[in-house]
């Protein structure tokens, strides 16, 4: 049998009730007798069990005070010990939670017994620890992936520099080497910029203002239209006027990442459709390659890229949709992606209404 705090409390009440009753009866009698004696110099000898400790014929006020102090101290001590016994399961949970850390992510309470308040608290703590463990693991994976992504271009730079130092280069070789170093540095800049944006969006929205989402989307779409046309893509927009609450730079980055991915992962002669409706739903869809449905959720993870041909070989760093998800979460929005069986991906961001 599991002694939950509720059961322990019931046992404590049943056990202490008779003692508490007798203690109160005796304490009240002793206090009344002491006050009466101090006023009149004597007490009434009415009989009763409380007079067994300090009889009326030889009543001692000093003994009465000592009895009250000692009895009260013992009662407080007993109540404290009993309270600790009742709440021991809660203390045990606190100790277990205190041991939780990066090296003990699998630690859980796994409470048993009846489904009372304590069991619900333990289950809630286990759920919270599950989320913390997922966060720790995601942070570890992110750090490992970021280190790998940074290590690769740095190794490339080192190799190129070693080649330039090992022998004399012609003008064409020097130009080629310089372009390769410049491309590697540009990729590093994009990666660092993506990491900083991701960190900023994870921090949340610090200053909110009411913004016209349709205007932001129109401006960003106009910036991406020349790139889409150069790739032979048709970029269409259907924008209904709607307002959202948030930070303009972050929202611009969210729309830019969606459009950049829709253009980059597309097919020759394809299309990109951007819609904003009055309910605050932003949808960006394209006619890109076919994506298996089971891989769609993974596209929002850091440094995940779909293999296959790209129309734009700009060297993405695999943080585009991760940043989209983070910015959307900071604005209280929900992101959903759906693969089109005929090819392409549709991403919808649902913003909450402005209050």
Kindly report, residue by residue over 52-74, the tens digit of the pLDDT: 555 666 667 787 788 888 888 98
Q: What backbone torsions phi and psi does residue 198 show, to the nearest 5 degrees?
A: -65, -45
Could you tell me if residue 92 is inside a domain?
no
Q: What backbone torsions phi and psi does residue 334 show, to the nearest 5 degrees?
A: -115, 135
For residues 301-314, give the mean pLDDT: 53
Could you tell me if residue 121 is inside a domain?
no
Can you give the CATH number for the domain in which 300 is found?
A: 3.30.565.10
* pLDDT-based confidence at residue 347 (cuts at 50, 70, 90): very high
Judge if 180 and 191 occupy the same domain. Answer: yes
Judge if 189 and 302 occupy the same domain. Answer: no
* pLDDT-based confidence at residue 309 (cuts at 50, 70, 90): very low
- For the chain, the residue count is 355
pLDDT at 278: 93
Residue 317 structural domain: 205-350
| Cα–Cα nearest to 114, from 105, 125, 126, 123 | 123
Judge if 209 and 345 occupy the same domain. Answer: yes
The string of pLDDT tens digits covering residues 97-144 is 888 877 777 888 887 777 777 788 888 888 888 888 877 777 777 677
Could you tell me which residue, 120 or 225, shows the higher pLDDT? 225
Rounded CA-CA distance 256/314 in Å is 14
Please state the separation of Cα 310 from the chain's center in Å. Answer: 35
pLDDT at 247: 87
Using only C-alpha atoms, the chain has a radius of gyration, in whole angstroms, of 37
Rounded CA-CA distance 187/193 in Å is 10
Judge if 184 and 222 occupy the same domain. Answer: no
Judge if 223 and 302 occupy the same domain. Answer: yes
pLDDT at 58: 67
Q: What backbone torsions phi and psi does residue 210 show, to the nearest 5 degrees?
A: -80, 125
pLDDT at 7: 80
Judge if 278 and 289 occupy the same domain. Answer: yes
Instruction: Please check the confidence at residue 51 and state whether its pLDDT lies above 70.
Output: no
**What are the percentages of helix, strand and coil residues in the chain, rounded to 5?**
60, 10, 30
Q: Name the percent of the chain lying above pLDDT 90.
A: 23
Rounded CA-CA distance 139/102 in Å is 11
271-276 and 234-239 strand pairing = parallel
Instruction: Please check the confidence at residue 308 and state whether its pLDDT lies above 70.
Output: no
Rounded CA-CA distance 272/263 in Å is 7
Q: What backbone torsions phi and psi does residue 345 show, to the nearest 5 degrees?
A: -140, 140
Q: How far is CA 104 from CA 23, 97, 174, in A?
A: 49, 10, 53
Instruction: Please check the confidence at residue 148 and state whether its pLDDT lies above 70.
Output: no
Judge if 342 and 222 occupy the same domain. Answer: yes
Instruction: Please check the confidence at residue 1 and state whether its pLDDT lies above 70.
Output: no
Q: Name the percent of the chain lying above pLDDT 70.
A: 85
Judge if 240 and 297 occupy the same domain. Answer: yes
Instruction: Please check the confidence at residue 48 and state whether its pLDDT lies above 60.
Output: no
pLDDT at 31: 82
* pLDDT-based confidence at residue 311 (cuts at 50, 70, 90): very low
pLDDT at 23: 81
The string of pLDDT tens digits covering residues 286-302 is 998 888 888 888 888 77
Contact of 230 with 263, CB cutoff 8 Å: no
| Cα–Cα nearest to 241, from 206, 208, 272, 210 | 210
pLDDT at 188: 75
Could you tell me if residue 242 is inside a domain?
yes
Query: What is the model's pTM?
Result: 0.56
Could you tell me if residue 269 is inside a domain?
yes
At residue 80, the 3 state secondary structure works out as helix
Query: What does DSSP assign to residue 58?
Result: T
């Amino acid at each position: 049998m599991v002694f939950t705090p509720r059961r322990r409390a019931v046992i404590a009440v049943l056990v202490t009730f008779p003692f508490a009753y007798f203690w109160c009866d005796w304490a009240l009698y002793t206090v009344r007798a002491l006050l009466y004696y101090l006023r009149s110099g004597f007490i009434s000898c009415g009989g009763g069990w409380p007079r067994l400790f300090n009889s009326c014929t030889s009543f001692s006020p000093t003994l009465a005070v000592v009895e009250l102090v000692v009895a009260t101290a013992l009662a407080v001590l007993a109540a404290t010990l009993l309270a600790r016994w009742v709440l021991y399961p809660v203390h045990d949970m606190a100790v277990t939670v205190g041991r939780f850390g990066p090296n003990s992510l699998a630690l859980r309470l796994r409470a048993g017994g009846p489904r009372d308040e304590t069991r619900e608290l333990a289950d809630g703590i286990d759920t919270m620890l599950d989320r913390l463990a997922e966060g720790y693991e995601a942070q570890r994976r992110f750090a490992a992936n970021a280190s790998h992504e940074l290590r690769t271009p740095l190794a490339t730079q080192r190799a190129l520099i070693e080649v330039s130092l090992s022998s004399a280069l012609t003008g064409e070789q020097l130009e080629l080497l310089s372009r390769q170093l410049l491309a590697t540095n540009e990729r590093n800049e994009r990666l660092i910029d993506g990491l900083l944006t991701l960190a900023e969006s994870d921090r949340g929205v610090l200053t909110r203002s009411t913004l016209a989402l349709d205007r932001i989307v129109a401006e960003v779409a106009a910036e991406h239209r020349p790139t889409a046309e150069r790739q032979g893509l048709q970029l269409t927009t259907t924008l209904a006027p709607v307002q959202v609450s948030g930070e303009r730079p972050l929202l611009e980055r969210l729309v830019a990442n969606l459009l950049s991915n829709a253009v980059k992962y597309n097919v020759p002669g394809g299309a990109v459709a951007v819609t904003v409706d009055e309910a605050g739903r932003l949808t960006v869809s394209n006619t890109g390659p076919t994506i298996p449905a089971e891989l769609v959720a993974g596209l929002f993870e850091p440094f995940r890229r779909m293999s296959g041909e790209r129309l734009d070989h700009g060297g993405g760093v695999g943080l585009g949709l991760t940043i989209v998800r983070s910015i959307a979460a900071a604005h209280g929005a929900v992101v959903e992606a759906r693969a089109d069986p005929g090819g392409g991906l549709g991403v919808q961001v649902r913003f909450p209404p402005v209050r």
